[in-house]
Amino acid sequence: MQAQLESAVAALRAGELVAFATETVYGLGADAADAEAVRRVFELKGRPASHPLIVHLHSAAQLPLWAREISPAAHKLAAAFWPGPLTLVLPRAATVSDAVTGGQDTVALRVPAHPLARALLAAFGGGIAAPSANRYGRLSATCAAHVRDEFGDAVAVVLDGGDCDLGVESTIVCCDAQRVQVLRPGSITLSQLQAVVGPVSSGADASSPRVPGSTLAHYSPRTPLQQVDAGQLAQLLAQRLAAGQRLGVLAQGPPPRVHPGLVWIVAGAHAVSYAHDLYANLRQLDQSGCALLLVSRVPDDETWDAVRDRLRRAAAPSDLTA
Question: Along the 322 residues of the chain, how does pLDDT read in single tens digits?
Answer: 899 999 999 999 999 999 999 999 999 999 999 999 999 999 999 999 999 999 999 999 999 999 999 999 999 999 999 999 999 999 999 999 999 999 999 999 999 999 999 999 999 999 999 999 999 999 999 999 999 999 998 998 999 999 999 999 999 999 987 789 999 999 999 999 999 999 999 988 888 999 998 888 899 999 999 999 988 998 999 999 989 999 999 999 999 888 899 999 999 999 999 999 999 999 999 999 999 999 999 999 999 999 999 999 999 987 664 4
Q: Do domains 2-202 and 225-315 have the same CATH topology?
A: no
Longest C-alpha distance within the chain, in Å? 61
For residue 322, the one-letter residue type is A
2-202 adopts what CATH topology? DHBP synthase (3.90.870)
Contact residues for 48 (Cβ-Cβ < 8 A; gap 6+): 42, 136
- DSSP assignment of 11-43 equals HHHTT--EEE--SSS-EEEEETT-HHHHHHHHH
- pLDDT at res. 317: 85
- pLDDT at res. 319: 62
Residues in the chain: 322
- pLDDT at res. 221: 96
- pLDDT at res. 191: 97
- Paired with 19 in beta bridges are 28, 158
Q: Where are the domains of the chain?
A: 2-202, 225-315
In 3D space, the residue among 220, 218, 186, 217 whose CA is nearest the CA of residue 202 turns out to be 186
User: Is the CATH code 1.10.760.10 the one for domain 225-315?
Assistant: no
